[in-house]
């Protein structure tokens, strides 16, 4: 019932139902359950108040009308009612409003899956575990871009949320600079806070046993990996992940660690690679649900499409190691994207959406000692954004002055970045040449990692 329908109850309406405006304000106002309460009132039995201070058995509170009162603690009713015998303190109107708006739980056992608000908050630890890493300048740097939308209905009430991600830094999975670290999840798993994970993934707790994750730093002073793993696991629970889904993500992460330890050698008098021991391949294949022989065969003798036919080609050791790295990066990326889709499924309540607040978070412009292809894309994106800003702030704004007849001498601020942008994105630019070199290198059967050297 809306305000119009409640009007027929006259002066009793405010006691039966709060107005639409009051209800909306209540939904958007911060609620401190430790301070919010109901206090006796001679006119309407009880009114809402906020505790200001306590002195022994006396409580000073401020009512919703701005009046400061002093009451005995036993006469004040806490807003979080858990015992039925306490409910007689409230009038019918305050009790009804309290039950409708605050939802008193009838059990002490909470649901594992959280509310929509909880899930939106808990999406962050999950994304950070698999998408953040230590860089030279930031111990918890996001290595992917994301656009978060928080949706609201036509009354401004939270309805749902969704997340889009862009350009995960896949190269970090297999390579890190000396002062950097791989993604947090690898070190969280090795923290021993969940020893059953180490047993399930067939790994030790020493990061230096795994080549992919020990090229840079393995610990960060500002990060407690044990606590972070518990936060990640709890986040999955709140988001509604099943135990099987969680285990699958952990297993794929463990498989990637084993990928980095796989060894290969050339056959005698041949340029054909073969496995130099199968222990790590066996572990990786087991965690991925594959046959170990099929995994090794796919790396050493991949099938490629030539025209309309599939043929099996041989690979030397260098090519196989490139293939292992490519496989590891692809698996991690697919797992990360699946996790984002799964989180969005939990955040999609199917409720009507009218408005949304969007927040875009992308990686910033950085120059490292060694810059990956992803960093080139990140810096290129930042250049284009900066050009957009400069054009609107310095060029279009001055053109607007001319349209309005304002006397103005055009100023060139020297902020035009178009030459740099054209160098990268135009035909025969860096991107075009890179693509051509990659295609040419694959056509000659050489590992694509050598292509940038042609520049």
- CATH of the domain spanning 117-238+351-361: 3.40.850.10
Q: How far apart are CA 455 and CA 450, in angstroms?
A: 10
Whether residue 102 contacts residue 329, with contact meaning beta carbons closer than 8 Å, is answered with no
How high is the pLDDT of residue 103? 41
Along the chain (455 residues), what's the average pLDDT of each consecutive run of 10 residues?
74 75 72 78 83 87 88 77 45 47 39 79 96 92 94 90 95 94 97 94 96 95 94 95 96 98 92 94 96 95 89 93 96 98 95 92 84 89 91 89 88 85 92 86 52 44
- Look at residue 330 and give its three-state secondary structure: helix
How high is the pLDDT of residue 270? 86
Give the residue among 286, 342, 24 at the shortest CA–CA distance from 155. 24
How high is the pLDDT of residue 169? 93
Whether residue 361 contacts residue 146, with contact meaning beta carbons closer than 8 Å, is answered with yes
Q: Where in the chain is the domain with CATH 1.20.58.530?
A: 373-442
Find the length of the chain.
455
Q: Where in the chain is the domain with CATH 2.30.30.360?
A: 31-101
Indicate the fold that domain 373-442 takes in CATH: Methane Monooxygenase Hydroxylase; Chain G, domain 1 (1.20.58)
- Residue whose pair of structure tokens reads 């958007």 in the numeric block: 28
Angle between helix 279-288 and helix 292-300 axes, rounded to 10 deg: 110
Whether residue 298 contacts residue 309, with contact meaning beta carbons closer than 8 Å, is answered with no
CATH of 31-101, one of 2.30.30.360, 1.20.120.1200, 3.30.70.260, 3.40.50.300: 2.30.30.360
Q: Where in the chain is the domain with CATH 3.40.850.10?
A: 117-238+351-361
Cα distances from 437 to residues 315, 327, 340, 370, 430, in angstroms, run 20, 21, 33, 20, 10
Give the residue among 222, 217, 226 at the shortest CA–CA distance from 172. 217
Q: How far apart are CA 300 and CA 320, in angstroms?
A: 6
**Strand extents, DSSP E, 267-420:** 273-275, 303-306, 309-312, 355-361
């Amino acid at each position: 019932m809306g305000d119009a329908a409640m009007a027929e109850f006259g002066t009793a309406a405010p006691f039966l139902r709060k107005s639409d405006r009051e209800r909306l304000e209540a939904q958007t106002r911060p609620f401190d359950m430790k301070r919010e309460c109901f206090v006796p009132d001679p006119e309407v039995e009880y009114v809402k108040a906020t505790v200001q201070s306590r002195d022994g058995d006396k409580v000073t509170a401020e009512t919703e009308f701005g009046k400061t009162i002093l009451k005995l603690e036993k006469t004040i009713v806490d807003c979080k009612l858990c015992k039925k015998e306490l409910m007689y303190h409230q009038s019918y109107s305050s009790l009804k409003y309290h039950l409708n708006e605050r939802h008193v739980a009838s059990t002490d056992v909470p649901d594992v899956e959280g509310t929509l608000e909880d899930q939106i908050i808990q999406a962050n630890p999950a994304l950070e575990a698999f998408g953040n890493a230590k860089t030279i300048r930031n111990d918890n740097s996001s290595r992917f871009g994301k656009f978060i939308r928080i949706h609201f209905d036509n009354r401004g009430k939270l309805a749902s949320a969704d997340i889009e991600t862009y350009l995960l830094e896949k190269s970090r999975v297999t390579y890190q600079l000396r002062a950097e670290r791989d993604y947090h999840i690898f070190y969280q798993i090795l923290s021993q806070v969940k020893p059953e994970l180490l047993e399930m993934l067939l790994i030790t707790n020493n990061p230096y046993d795994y080549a992919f994750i020990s090229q840079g730093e393995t610990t960060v002073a500002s990060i407690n990996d044990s606590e972070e793993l518990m936060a990640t696991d709890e986040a999955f629970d709140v988001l509604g992940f099943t135990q099987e889904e969680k285990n699958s993500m952990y297993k794929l992460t463990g498989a990637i660690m084993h990928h980095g330890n796989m060894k290969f050698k050339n056959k005698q008098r041949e340029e054909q690679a073969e496995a130099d021991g199968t222990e790590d391949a066996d572990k990786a294949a087991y965690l991925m649900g594959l046959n170990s022989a099929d995994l090794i065969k796919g790396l050493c003798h991949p099938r490629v499409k030539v025209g309309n036919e599939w043929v099996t080609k041989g690979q030397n050791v260098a090519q196989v190691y490139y293939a292992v790295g490519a496989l590891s990066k692809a698996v991690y990326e697919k797992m990360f994207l699946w996790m984002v889709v799964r989180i969005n499924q939990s955040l999609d309540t199917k409720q009507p959406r009218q408005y949304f607040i969007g927040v875009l978070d992308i990686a910033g412009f950085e120059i490292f000692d060694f810059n990956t292809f992803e960093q080139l894309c990140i810096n290129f994106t930042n250049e284009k954004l900066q050009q957009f800003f400069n054009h609107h702030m310095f060029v279009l704004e001055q053109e607007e002055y001319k349209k309005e007849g304002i006397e103005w001498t055009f100023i060139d601020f020297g902020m035009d970045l178009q030459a740099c942008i054209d160098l990268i994105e135009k035909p025969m630019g860096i991107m075009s040449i890179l693509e051509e070199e990659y295609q040419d290198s694959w056509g000659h059967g050489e590992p694509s990692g050598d292509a940038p050297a042609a520049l």
